[in-house]
């Protein structure tokens, strides 16, 4: 097995992490920013007030795009295993 396959899989894996995780991280970042501004404006610094909206945002985001995320990950793993079996001579 040459060094092209592991390097290619690693590069594709990192791109997939960015593609799949990007929308979730962006939603959590924007939600956290909004919650932080509201907490600063109202001077309510209760940890539950900051945690619960972020949890709700994470659950809603995963509800809407979780299937797409799992599909992308499954396609990558299937493709990686298939390519490794072809190059490595596994049956």
Those residues of the chain that have pLDDT short of 50 are: none
- Looking at residue 89, its pLDDT comes to 57
Torsion of CA 72, 65, 27, 16, to 10 degrees: 0
Contact 23, 61 (CB under 8 A): yes
Distances (CA, A) of 91 to 6, 81, 85, 87, 88: 19, 11, 7, 11, 9
Enumerate the domain spans of the chain: 4-85
């Amino acid at each position: 097995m040459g060094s092209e396959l592991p390097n290619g899989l690693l590069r594709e894996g990192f791109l997939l992490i960015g593609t799949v995780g990007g929308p979730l991280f962006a939603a959590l970042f924007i939600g956290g920013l909004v919650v932080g501004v509201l907490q600063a404006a109202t001077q309510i610094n209760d940890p539950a007030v900051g945690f619960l909206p972020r949890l709700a945002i994470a659950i809603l985001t995963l509800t809407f795009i979780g299937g797409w995320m799992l599909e992308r990950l499954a396609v990558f793993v299937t493709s990686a295993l298939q390519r490794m079996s072809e190059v490595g001579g596994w049956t």
